[in-house]
């Protein structure tokens, strides 16, 4: 599977990018607004100060007089520590103040004008206002200029800008954290769907009915359609196997039935023997077909093993009950000594393992004997022990009996395909257990144990 | 016993009907589910033998549909040896199943097991002198006491009960007693007859040896 960046990462990254852009933008805006506001404040105070001084202008004996009101400078001191300069010019003559201040832009009478310039090595802002004062018979234009350096204002602006910068960075980090959470939250429905699909058993192909956000509906639909197709195709192949078995085994059943009828009606011993051979051949091929099919089923089911909670004693009891009539035909009785044993696995497979072991015990024991089933538990394992009173498994190596198509030397005329123990061993191995073959301690009979891990 | 056989393969059905008739059973045959429903509407059966694959549907579906109002026990005939199929058949209300091809002795054994499990059904009792023999349940009643017979004993007794007073050859007895795939000697028959004699001792009937010919049941013996 090719992995691309996860949706969560992409979403987080995208949201973080947006947050970064917004942070920078807001920082810029705050900074420029702060600068504007500081400049406007300075302008207003400068204007007020110039106007206040101009207000004190009067004429005394034909001379223009003024008082420099303290308040006019106090105002300026209030906004910053910046240096303040002033100058009053009456009819092109400096009345008072710093006469080297730059000349103001010309303006109409009574109008406050502002200038920005250099003075004594610093940038200054200057406001000027011109008034006409009646001095004697003359009207004299008096221009009052008040100037202030801009260091204080710039300092305030950069303070605010720094603060705004810090806030923006903080905002950015909070936004990133929030977008990570948001990404996770919005992916939750998707994760829930994924979890509910992966929690399912291998054969659970029912449609998903979980409620999902509208955006996920197409995904859910597609998933359900895929599941439906899978179910159909599995069903088709199962149907195919069933159909194939039906086609092979129904004619075999016809042959066997007719042979039985013929056996009842003929009396010639040689003919009877021939009919018995036919029946045996039918049974052999039916058994082989059945065991091959079971073996194939086991092979495909262990690929994706179901892990249901089961009780080994229930399974043993059910399988024994199903085989009881078969055992009764040979007057063989089961004795059960079972204790509950919780295990995990596939009931169908375990049933077929137990069935094959019991089938052997019935087939290879003499009539009118007992087959005992016992469960023994130890700390980690459950052991289902099946003992019979037959001839036992012989003296040779026993492991080979679990090989495919391997039959023992004791089979003499007993129908079989040599796959029974193969199936049982494969099922147990898939469940993390094992099949143990031995002869009973007391000398006669086989003792076959199905060992499974307990949960 | 009265059977209903639902099986679409004509040759197999014909064989099963003949073979069961040889054991003294009555069998009606239906080739489709529709025909089976017609039969069930007009007659009472002790047991239904139901094929899984039928032309007008799946036997298991039929069973699931009709189980609610159907009291008759059902044994499914399946061609699949697959375990999941067996489980499915039982889940859907079948009493048991048997895989084709089958040994009729096994079919009989399974029918008997099902009928015993179900219990309470009207049964055909056969009077053997003062004793009552129920071959379907495998019980023998005498003097207010019921004993359960073992499989071979039931079969052996049934052969004699169905041919009262007749001489049966060892070969005839053998055909009824053993599966055809088993190798048996005539000695084995003597063993079983001996055992059955001990079981029925003092019940007012007995099995005599007719030298050189075989055996005969005598129900008038004291
Ligand atoms: N309980 C037993 N007693 C004696 N021999 C046994 C027993 N179980 C297995 N065996 C021997 O092990 C061999 C392999 O058994 P397995 O079940 O695999 O094959 P099978 O019974 O011959 O055929 P089938 O596939 O029909 O079961 C048998 O042929 C038999 O010789
Ligand atoms: Mg076997």
Site to substitute for ligand 1 among A326, A370, A421, A449, most atoms within 8 A of C-beta:
A421
CB-count exposure of residue A151 (10 Å: 0-12, 13-18, 19+) = middle
Identify whether residues B6 and B113 lie together within a single domain. yes
* Confidence (pLDDT) at A334: 97
Show which of B92, B118, B144 is a domain's final residue. B118
| Gap from A274 CA to chain B (nearest CA, Å) | 11
Cα distance between residue A90 and residue A129, in whole Å: 12
- Which residue is it, tokens 């199962």? A238
> Alpha carbon A380 to chain centroid distance?
34
Residues of B in contact with A297 (CB under 8 A): 82-84
* Confidence (pLDDT) at A390: 92
Cβ–ligand 1 contact at A410 (below 6 Å): yes
- For residue B50, give its domain range: 2-118
Show which of B118, B150, B185 is a domain's final residue. B118
Show which of B118, B137, B172 is a domain's final residue. B118
Q: Is A274 on the interface with B (CB under 8 A)?
A: no
Both tokens assigned to B174: 């053998």
Residue nearest atom 10 in ligand 1 by C-alpha distance:
A393
Identify whether residues B130 and B112 lie together within a single domain. no
In ligand 1, which atom is closest to the CA atom of A422? 18
- Which residue is it, tokens 């052997």? A360
How is residue B79 annotated by DSSP? S
Cβ–ligand 1 contact at A433 (below 6 Å): no
Identify whether residues B24 and B108 lie together within a single domain. yes
Both tokens assigned to A198: 């992966």
pLDDT below 50 — which residues of chain B?
Answer: none
Tally of structural domains, chain B? 2
pLDDT of chain A, 455 residues: tens digit per residue? 567 777 788 888 888 888 889 889 989 998 899 889 888 888 888 888 888 888 888 888 878 888 888 887 888 777 777 888 888 888 788 888 888 888 888 778 888 899 888 888 888 999 998 888 887 788 888 888 899 888 888 888 888 889 988 998 998 899 888 888 888 888 888 888 888 887 776 667 777 777 777 888 888 888 888 888 887 877 776 677 667 777 888 899 999 999 999 988 888 889 988 999 999 999 999 998 888 888 888 887 787 788 899 999 999 999 999 999 899 888 899 999 999 999 999 998 999 999 999 999 999 999 889 999 999 999 999 999 999 999 899 888 888 999 999 998 888 889 999 999 999 999 999 999 999 999 988 778 999 999 999 99
CB contact under 8 A, B12 and A242: no
Residue nearest atom 5 in ligand 1 by C-alpha distance:
A393
In ligand 1, which atom is closest to the CA atom of A359? 27
Domain of B38, CATH number, reads 3.40.50.2300
CB contact under 8 A, B80 and A348: no
Identify whether residues B14 and B88 lie together within a single domain. yes
Other Cβ atoms less than 10 A from the Cβ of B62: the count is 22
Sign for the pseudo-dihedral over CA of B11, B13, B14, B18:
positive
* Confidence (pLDDT) at A78: 74
Residues of B in contact with A427 (CB under 8 A): none
Identify whether residues B74 and B156 lie together within a single domain. no
Q: How many residues does chain A have?
A: 455
Identify whether residues B11 and B31 lie together within a single domain. yes
Cα nearest neighbour of B102 on chain A: A253
Q: How far is the CA of A375 from the centre of ligand 1 (A)?
A: 22
Both tokens assigned to A374: 């016992």
Identify whether residues B23 and B113 lie together within a single domain. yes
Identify whether residues B73 and B141 lie together within a single domain. no
Domain of B202, CATH number, reads 1.10.10.10
Residues of B in contact with A349 (CB under 8 A): 83
Would you tell me the crossing angle of helices A217-265 and B10-22 to the nearest 10 degrees?
A: 50
pTM: 0.67
Sign for the pseudo-dihedral over CA of B86, B87, B90, B96:
positive
How is residue B78 annotated by DSSP? E
Cβ–ligand 1 contact at A356 (below 6 Å): yes
Q: Phi and psi at residue B206, in whole multiples of 5°?
A: -155, 165
Question: Which one of B85, B101, B180 has the shortest CB-CB distance to A276?
Answer: B180
Q: Are A13 and A4 in contact (CB under 8 A)?
A: no
Cβ–ligand 1 contact at A390 (below 6 Å): yes
Q: How does pLDDT run across B39-55, given as a tens digit for each residue?
A: 999 988 989 999 988 89
Cβ within 8 Å of A, B 77-136: 79-87, 96, 99-106, 109-110, 112-113
Identify whether residues B155 and B47 lie together within a single domain. no
Cα distance between residue B120 and residue B190, in whole Å: 35
ipTM value for the complex: 0.81
Identify whether residues B26 and B42 lie together within a single domain. yes
Identify whether residues B134 and B112 lie together within a single domain. no
For residue B101, cis peptide bond before it (omega within 30 degrees of 0): yes
Cβ within 8 Å of A, B 187-206: none
Q: How far is the CA of A167 from the centre of ligand 1 (A)?
A: 82
What lies within 8 Å, CB to CB, of A405 at 6+ separation is A417, A418, A419, A422
CB-count exposure of residue A337 (10 Å: 0-12, 13-18, 19+) = exposed
CB contact under 8 A, B100 and A263: no
Cβ within 8 Å of B, A 129-158: none
CB-count exposure of residue A49 (10 Å: 0-12, 13-18, 19+) = buried
- Which residue is it, tokens 């103040």? A97
CB contact under 8 A, A290 and B81: yes
Cα distance between residue B145 and residue A75, in whole Å: 129
Cα nearest neighbour of A252 on chain B: B101
Q: Is B174 on the interface with A (CB under 8 A)?
A: no
Identify whether residues B33 and B112 lie together within a single domain. yes
- Which residue is it, tokens 């191995």? A429
Residue nearest atom 1 in ligand 1 by C-alpha distance:
A361
Burial pattern A110-131, b for ≥16 Cβ within 10 A else e, equals eebbbbeeebeeeebbbbbbbb
Q: Are B80 and A246 in contact (CB under 8 A)?
A: yes
* Confidence (pLDDT) at B29: 95
Residues of A in contact with B182 (CB under 8 A): 413
Ligand nearest to the CA of A361: 1
Residue nearest atom 29 in ligand 1 by C-alpha distance:
A407
Cβ within 8 Å of B, A 374-413: 413
């Amino acid at each position: 599977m090719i992995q691309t960046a996860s949706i969560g990462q992409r979403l987080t990254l995208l949201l973080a990018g947006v947050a970064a852009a917004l942070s920078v933008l807001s920082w810029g805006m705050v900074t420029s607004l702060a600068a504007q506001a500081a400049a406007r404040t300075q302008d207003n105070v400068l204007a007020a100060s110039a106007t206040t001084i101009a207000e004190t202008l009067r004429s005394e004996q034909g001379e223009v007089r003024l008082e420099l009101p303290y308040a006019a400078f106090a105002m300026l001191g209030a906004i910053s520590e910046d240096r303040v300069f002033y100058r009053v010019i009456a009819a092109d003559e400096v009345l008072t103040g710093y006469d080297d201040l730059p000349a103001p832009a010309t303006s109409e009478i009574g109008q406050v004008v502002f200038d920005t310039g250099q003075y004594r090595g610093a940038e200054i802002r200057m406001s000027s206002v011109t008034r006409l004062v009646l001095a004697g018979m003359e009207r004299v234009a008096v221009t009052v200029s008040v100037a202030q350096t801009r260091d204080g204002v710039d300092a305030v602006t950069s303070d605010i800008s720094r603060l705004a910068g810090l806030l923006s960075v903080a905002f950015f980090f909070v936004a990133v954290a929030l977008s990570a959470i948001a990404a996770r939250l919005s992916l939750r429905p998707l994760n829930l769907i994924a979890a509910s699909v992966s929690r399912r058993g291998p054969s659970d192909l029912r449609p998903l009915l979980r409620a999902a956000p509208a955006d996920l509906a197409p995904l859910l639909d597609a998933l359900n359609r895929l599941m439906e197709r899978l179910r159909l195709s599995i069903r088709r192949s199962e149907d195919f196997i069933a159909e194939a078995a039906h086609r092979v085994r129904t004619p075999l059943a016809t042959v066997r039935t007719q042979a039985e009828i013929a056996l009842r009606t003929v009396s010639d011993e040689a003919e009877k023997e021939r009919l018995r051979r036919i029946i045996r051949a039918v049974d052999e091929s039916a058994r082989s077909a059945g065991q091959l099919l079971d073996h194939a089923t086991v092979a495909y089911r262990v690929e994706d093993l179901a892990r249901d909670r089961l009780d080994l004693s229930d399974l043993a009891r059910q399988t024994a009950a199903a085989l009881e009539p078969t055992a009764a035909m040979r007057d063989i009785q089961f004795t059960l000594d079972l204790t509950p044993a919780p295990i995990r696995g596939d009931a169908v497979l375990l049933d077929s393992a137990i069935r094959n072991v019991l089938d052997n015990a019935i087939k290879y024991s003499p009539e009118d004997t007992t087959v005992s089933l016992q469960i023994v538990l130890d700390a980690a394992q459950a052991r289902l022990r099946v003992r019979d009173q037959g001839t036992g498994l012989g003296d040779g190596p026993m492991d080979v009996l679990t090989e495919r198509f391997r039959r023992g030397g004791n089979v003499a005329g007993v129908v079989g395909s040599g796959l029974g123990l193969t199936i049982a061993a494969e099922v147990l191995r898939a469940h993390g257990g094992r099949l143990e073959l031995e002869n009973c301690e007391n000398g006669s009979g086989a003792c076959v144990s199905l060992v499974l891990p307990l949960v | 016993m009265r059977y209903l056989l639902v099986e679409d393969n004509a040759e197999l059905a014909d064989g099963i009907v003949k073979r069961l008739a040889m054991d003294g059973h009555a069998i009606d045959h239906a080739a489709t589910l529709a025909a089976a429903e017609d039969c069930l509407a007009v007659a009472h059966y002790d047991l239904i033998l139901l094929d899984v694959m039928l032309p007008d549907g799946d036997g298991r579906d039929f069973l699931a549909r009709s189980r609610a109002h159907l009291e008759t026990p059902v044994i499914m005939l399946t061609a699949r040896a697959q375990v999941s199929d067996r489980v499915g058949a039982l889940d859907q209300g079948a009493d048991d199943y048997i895989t084709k091809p089958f040994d009729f002795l096994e079919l009989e054994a399974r029918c008997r097991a099902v009928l015993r499990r179900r219990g309470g059904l009207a049964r055909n009792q056969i009077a053997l002198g003062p004793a009552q023999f129920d071959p379907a349940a495998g019980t023998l009643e005498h003097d207010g006491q019921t004993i359960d017979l073992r499989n071979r004993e039931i079969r052996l007794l049934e052969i004699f009960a169905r041919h009262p007073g007749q001489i049966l050859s060892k070969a005839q007895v053998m055909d009824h007693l053993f599966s055809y795939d088993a190798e048996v000697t005539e000695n084995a028959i003597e063993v079983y007859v001996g055992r059955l004699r001990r079981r029925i001792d003092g019940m007012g009937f007995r099995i005599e040896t007719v030298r050189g010919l075989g055996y005969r049941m005598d129900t008038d013996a004291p």
